[in-house]
Structure 1
């Protein structure tokens, strides 16, 4: 077996995936809040 050396793995793809996930969750939360405010105003 090869010896494992901490910190040598290339994680660029994982970092980009996580960044995209965080942005998607953030925008989703904003859109859901806007939608809920809209529903509250319409149904008064």
Structure 2
């Protein structure tokens, strides 16, 4: 997950990893200005 440390511009992106490689982007919803929610399945 990429995140902003609150010290300026940034972004939030949740990604799916397989063997350490990014294989997809997981949709997220902005709940508050700095809070993003993503639903993930843990197998």
Question: What band does the TM-score fall into relative to the shorter chain?
Answer: under 0.3
Question: How does the TM-score come out when normalised to structure 1?
Answer: 0.20
Work out which structure has the larger RCO, using CA pairs closer than 8 Å and 6 or more positions apart in sequence.
2
Greater share of helix residues, 1 or 2?
Answer: 1
Question: How does the TM-score come out when normalised to structure 2?
Answer: 0.20
Q: Compare CA radii of gyration and give the structure with the larger one.
A: 1
